[in-house]
Amino acid sequence: MAIPNPILNEIISSKKVEQADGTHLKLTSALSLEECEALYRVLRERKPKRVIEIGMAYGVSGLTILTALEENGEGTLTSVDPYPGWESARKAALHNIERAGLSARHTHIHDASERVLPKLCADGERADFVHIDGHHGFDHAFIDFFYADLLVNVGGIIAFDDSGWRSVNKVIRYLLRHRKYQELDVGLPREYRGKNPLVTLSKRLEGRFGTSRHFEKIDAWAAPFNYHKNF
């Protein structure tokens, strides 16, 4: 399914991001075209009303999400990204969202997810779709998932980018073992290839593949107070 957003397609094909002054930044971090198309398909099919993304970077995932919401005729996106030492990327992302005419559906919270997500939970916020692509360290990725699980409605989806990273894969393994989610087939291949044959073998044995992965919440299960006994 092609994504009807010429600005997004321009960014992906040129691997450059326009800034407000007309100059361009090199695109160094973004979803692939195939991942964007998969994300767009899921959002068009599920028609979420409330989407949260953790990690906005140059705005590629945000433009994909916002385009789907616009095509659906409903929904809003909140992007959470502190952009430490990366102000040029933040300005470029917001500039291109504005260029695409999608700012009305978008809010950016310029702060770290470990501070923002607990506040959203405390404020009673809910979400139908959460896209996790922030800090990829295990501790940060796990905190992002923990609060995403509290925020997302039953029937909603949590998606992880860079799922082939060992740190992110550990969070996914926890999700599959200790929460009630089912993985969705979004049409992306399982790519295990690493920098050498040993890494490739390791990834296969650990079930780590490098595309985005999507999980549907099938029950609002809560762990009992003595759940640690089950580990």
* DSSP of 152-210: EEEEEEEEESSTTSHHHHHHHHHHHHHS-EEEE--S-------SSHHHHHHHHHHT---
pLDDT digits (tens, 9 = 90+) for 119-171: 999 999 999 999 999 999 999 999 999 999 999 999 999 999 999 999 999 99
What pTM, to 2 d.p., does this model score? Answer: 0.95
pLDDT at residue 37 in the model: 98
Residue 50 within a domain: yes
pLDDT digits (tens, 9 = 90+) for 173-193: 999 999 999 999 999 999 888
The count of domains in the chain is 1
| Domain harbouring 45, CATH code | 3.40.50.150
Q: Count CB neighbours of 190 within 10 A.
A: 13
Domain of residue 50, residue span: 6-230
Q: Is residue 1 part of a domain?
A: no
In a domain, residue 208? The reply is: yes
